[in-house]
């Protein structure tokens, strides 16, 4: 699964410096005809080559 993640300037700087960054973004899923559900999920972002 691919998600688009918008990083803030501070996070971008840290990601460029270290190569990885741990974040806990809000992931919102809305099933067809259902109520949206929000969950925070820990992720590790890695700088692509």
pLDDT tens-digit readout, 1-49: 676 777 788 888 888 888 898 988 888 889 999 999 999 989 888 887 6
pLDDT the model gives residue 41: 85
Q: Residue 21 is part of which domain span?
A: 9-46
In Å, what is the CA distance from 17 to each residue of 6, 7, 14, 35, 43? 18, 14, 5, 40, 18
- For residues 46 and 23, is the Cβ–Cβ distance under 8 A? no
How is residue 29 written in tokens? 């899923």
1 falls within a domain = no
What per-residue confidence (pLDDT) applies to 34? 93
Total domain count, the chain:
1
Q: What are phi and psi of 13, to 5 degrees?
A: -65, -45
In a domain, 27, yes or no: yes
């Amino acid at each position: 699964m691919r998600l688009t993640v918008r990083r803030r300037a501070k996070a971008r700087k840290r990601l460029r410096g270290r190569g990885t960054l741990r974040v806990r973004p809000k992931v919102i899923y809305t099933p067809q005809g259902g109520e949206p559900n929000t969950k925070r999920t820990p992720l590790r972002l890695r700088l692509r080559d």
